[in-house]
Structure 1
Amino acid sequence: MTIPTSDRAARSAQVTGSPRRRWAGLVFISVAVALIIVDSTIINVAIPSIVADLAITSTQVQWVQESYTLVFAALLLVFGTLADRYGRRRILLLGVVVFAAASVLAAFAGSGDLLIGARLVQGVGGAMVLPTTLSLINATFRGRDRGIAFAIWGSTIGGMVAVGPLLGGWLTTYFSWRWAFGINVPLGIIIVIGVLTFVVESKDAGEPRRVDVVGAVLSVLTSASLVFGLIEGRSYGWWLTNKAMVVGDWTWPFELSPIPFAFAITLVAGAAFVAWGLYRQRTGRTTLLAFSLFRIASFRNGNIAAMIVSLGEFGIILSLPLWLQNVLGYDALQTGFVLLALALGSFVASGLAGAFGNKISPETIVRLGIVAEIIGVTGLGFVISKDATWLSVVPFLFVYGIGVGLATAQLTGVVLKDVPVEKSGQGSGTSSTARQIGSALGIAVLGTVLFTSVGASLDAKLADVPGLPAAAQSQVVDAVVDSAGAAIPALEARSPALADAARDAFSEGTRYSAFAAAGFLVLGFLATLRLSGTAPHQAPREMDAASTGVGSPA
């Protein structure tokens, strides 16, 4: 059912409110974004301390990151739709409360499994927050103000990517890694008060839509099985089983590894998700993924580019803090200061984007940003070594930060610029999902590249150590890989030669991870070549009639 123009205009007037209130509300919307982005990065510098305190393995290290990102990505579409139906501000507030409560659980976690469980719940809260912040901006601001609001939103993400490690480093060094989660509670309280005071509720007009439960289940199966396969492949074997998978009292009974089965589930569930969504669309019912929005060129091509770029953007942030602390010997706060160069670059980029935003198309700014990211990450790959210092790393992190700041905000604006307001929840949810799937794959793929490369390189180096038995060699390799490098300082007391070989191998793994990230960013750049600065003029009207689904039977 098409929403009459008069109704849309009335709703627009209702949600925008006074200019002062809108901009004050944007401050707290940005703080809400900062909360979930900081938490996704603050943990990086705290990982070595968590490894030492909870004795978690390298696979659990990846899962501490992935459990949050995976649930985040899997539920973004669901909460984007729920926000459209029940109210965007309401879902945002609920998400902040869930996120803060889960942060308390994480802060008191006594084991790696409990911490991973708390991160899963945090992912649920984060999935409520991110798409609603985007859709609130899309529904509240118009014209030039909307571009400025998106720029502030994107710059917040870019800046928080590095402010998170700095804050986490300070809290970990002077207090405890547990405060990296505890800080979310007072921030959550501030956000709730600010949003209730300044942000006006908005939601779809017309009859409420039902959530596509089958689509939600299929999307979760698709993303969960894919990330599980990518992370656990090196543990259980990519084809044949090299370690038994045990769940409670049940043990995997086949010679064939569970990983091919996981990837098969990904293919089947993914195909079923698309087929089911297209079927519901043909029958006039609402879908979890806004398939009809993909007829808008800016939305379709922008999401493809965003997913590929995100794969390369944030995966490297997993390996750098581990390398800085376990190889170069920096503490958590020093690591945070090194990564601050990324935040400074992002803030500089926001100024550049504002200065040239009216002279250069957003698509061109996105491409310039990705080129800067490629230069920064490739440069990191060349300077990373066991003898490197922060002076060689910081310039490339700064360039990388400039790229993140330029690309993130502008790409968001390109993706959503032609999406009708009444579809902003699904549109922003789809956009955020594309990014989070890319981030999840980046952590999984680049983490696997890191630890696989470290193991292979260290194994080769120890083979040349005279008098080292094969059993001892295997023990050293396993200790370094399973501890995500935390065992390297302890090797120094046992044998300086072994510790030196381990530092060299971990540097090689980090270097390969950086080059892999650069490769994905190159693919992302190529994907942006399909972005056009000319918007399809008929897209919004077509969307009103053909794809909003408002008032359709479910």
Structure 2
Amino acid sequence: MALLTYNTGRGRWVLAATVGGSAIASIDATAVNIALPAIGHEFGTGLETLQWVVTSYTLTLAGLLLVAGALGDRYGRRRVFDIGIVWFALASLLCSLAWNPETLIGARALQGVGAALLTPGSLAILEAVFVPADRGRAIGAWSGLTGVASAIGPFLGGWLIQTASWRYIFAINLPIALAVVLISRRHIPESRDPEATGQIDVTGGVLVTLGLVGLTFGLIQGPSIPALVVGVLLLAAFIAWERRAPSPILPLHLFKSSQFSATNLVTFIVYGAMGGALFLLPIQLQEVSGYTPLQAGISLLPVTVIMLLLSARSGAVAARIGPKLQMSLGPILVGLGFALFTQIDATGSYLTSVLPGVTVLGLGLAVTVAPLTATVLAAVPARHAGVASAVNNDVARAAALIAVAVLPAAAGITSSAYLSATQFTEGFHTASLICAALCILAGVLAALTIRNETRAPVAPPTQPWHCQLDAPIPRVAAAPETTEPRT
């Protein structure tokens, strides 16, 4: 396969296809939360159903993401990417036509499968098909354009909901997906990993997905003790299986690095808090504060703008001074942002009640995210950088999944509270304080466990984004092997 250069027409078409594929998943992820109140009103459902609308997607995505990366390496990255795009589009069509809540939840789970198939491929394709000198430029362009799509998501979703229907946030994926597949088939050369010869760990993917299903069902519905027990047992079986699987999707040996384990624990706490809080915020804004869907979508724009402006700079600072300070301070700032969410009620204006919280939240995430990602990559040998990034991405998604299931009940937001503006506001404020406390705890934990290495962390300036606010972190091309960090 002849490698491509960035300035060629074919190179730009490859970039367009990969950006388009990531964009439909990114826009969908950021727009669905804005649509939750409208979905609840149309179907006359309670909070538990809205939780499942979010978690059914995250369940299959988190459970199958690592398996999908292995499928692309083995059977062809373009092939798996194209299958993921088509799968995602068909599931989106089913979402837009959903005639009851159960259909929508099932279609969202299918969407998660499609997202898992297309997500690892977009950046892996760029790494595989461009000449080494142009990979950084191509990935940087991908990152910026996908970040723009993420910023557009809440605005576009709010506008479509307000002017037409929530169903259009899913239907809009169809023409984009068609264009992506046509471009992909014409311009993207196929690539594989010639060293990917071991068995694909399908068993591990099935065990972790079913374990997360049992755990989530048990937390949302009741709680249901039998479902919780089954979920925990399946997750324990997953860990046991990964210990002896010939090609595990979760390489447990990576966690022998205390830096890697600590960083993933900080990730779990921060992104769990963020996933739970940002699930409840659009409901609070629309159902209590009287925001339109468009206004609710725009309200989070400062977070995206601040991250676009500052994340790469934050990564550069961490590369010079080490990640410890920013990983300690950043989560505390995120926590203060969540604490300021307690100012959001039925009477305050955007400037006084919403803007302060989202501004501090954006600053905290900008300080935290790039150093956190760089620390994950630097904590393991460079040859494992791709799988380390993928594991960290999955940890963040699993944390958000569990938080959406747990946080409402922990804050006292029941089905009856969901129907009462006063009770929901009280629960939302409690949830915000819980998230704030968790993030402050994460900052303290980072201060106690994260080390500044003797070598600078490998900051990924071309992809400072992470998880729920954006396109997923890609597999990262391994750098040349260097000296291991000092313990």
TM-score, with structure 1 as normaliser: 0.73
Encode CA deviations 1:150-203: one digit per residue, 9 max, x unaligned.
777777777666532221110011111111111111222343355556655443
Q: Distance in 2 between matches of 1:156 and 1:373?
A: 25
Matched, 1:227 2:216: yes
Q: Distance in 2 between matches of 1:150 and 1:361?
A: 24
Q: Distance in 1 between matches of 2:13 and 2:370?
A: 19
- Cα distance change, pair 222–449 in 1 and its aligned pair in 2 (3 A): same
- Cα distance change, pair 518–512 in 1 and its aligned pair in 2 (3 A): same
Encode CA deviations 1:339-386: one digit per residue, 9 max, x unaligned.
2222222222236437646544455444444333222111112x1223
Matched, 1:447 2:436: no
Q: Distance in 2 between matches of 1:103 and 1:346?
A: 28
Q: Equivalent of 1:62, from 24, 35, 51?
A: 51
Contact 2:207–2:234 (Cα < 8 Å) also in 1: yes
Encode CA deviations 1:514-552: one digit per residue, 9 max, x unaligned.
112222222333443433343799xx9999xxxxxxxxx
- Cα distance change, pair 91–312 in 1 and its aligned pair in 2 (3 A): same
> What's the counterpart of residue 18 of structure 1?
5
Q: 1:43: how far off?
A: 1.3
Matched, 1:166 2:155: yes
Q: Distance in 2 between matches of 1:526 and 1:134?
A: 34
Contact 2:67–2:249 (Cα < 8 Å) also in 1: yes
- Cα distance change, pair 354–438 in 1 and its aligned pair in 2 (3 A): closer
Contact 1:297–1:536 (Cα < 8 Å) also in 2: no
- Cα distance change, pair 134–301 in 1 and its aligned pair in 2 (3 A): farther
Structure 1 unaligned runs (5+)? Answer: 1-13, 239-258, 456-477, 486-501, 544-554
* Paired letter, 2:195: G
Q: 1:206: how far off?
A: 3.1
Q: Pairwise mapping of residues 106-505 of structure 1 onto structure 2 (< 5 A)?
A: 106-133=95-122, 135-136=124-125, 163-195=152-184, 201-206=190-195, 208-233=197-222, 238=223, 259-280=224-245, 285-296=246-257, 299-350=260-311, 352-353=313-314, 356=317, 359-362=320-323, 364-381=325-342, 383-392=343-352, 393-417=354-378, 426-450=387-411, 453-455=412-414, 480-481=416-417, 484-485=418-419, 502-505=420-423
What's the secondary structure of 1:314's corresponding residue? helix
What's the secondary structure of 2:347's corresponding residue? coil
* Paired letter, 1:131: P
Deviates more, 1:160-169 or 1:63-72: 160-169
- Cα distance change, pair 216–337 in 1 and its aligned pair in 2 (3 A): closer
Q: Distance in 1 between matches of 2:142 and 2:270?
A: 18
Deviates more, 1:69-78 or 1:522-531: 522-531
Q: Distance in 1 between matches of 2:176 and 2:324?
A: 34
What's the secondary structure of 2:300's corresponding residue? helix
Q: CA RMSD in A?
A: 3.5
Deviates more, 1:195-204 or 1:368-377: 195-204
> What's the counterpart of residue 75 of structure 1?
64
Size of the aligned set, in residue pairs, is 457
TM-score, with structure 2 as normaliser: 0.82
- Cα distance change, pair 91–308 in 1 and its aligned pair in 2 (3 A): farther
Q: Distance in 2 between matches of 1:398 and 1:148?
A: 30
Q: Equivalent of 1:518, from 433, 436, 442?
A: 436
Structure 2 unaligned runs (5+)? Answer: 457-477, 482-487
Higher relative contact order (CA 8 A, sep 6+): 1
What's the secondary structure of 1:315's corresponding residue? helix
Contact 1:37–1:161 (Cα < 8 Å) also in 2: yes
Q: 1:116: how far off?
A: 0.7
Q: 1:400: how far off?
A: 1.1
Q: 1:82: how far off?
A: 1.5
Identity, % of aligned positions: 32
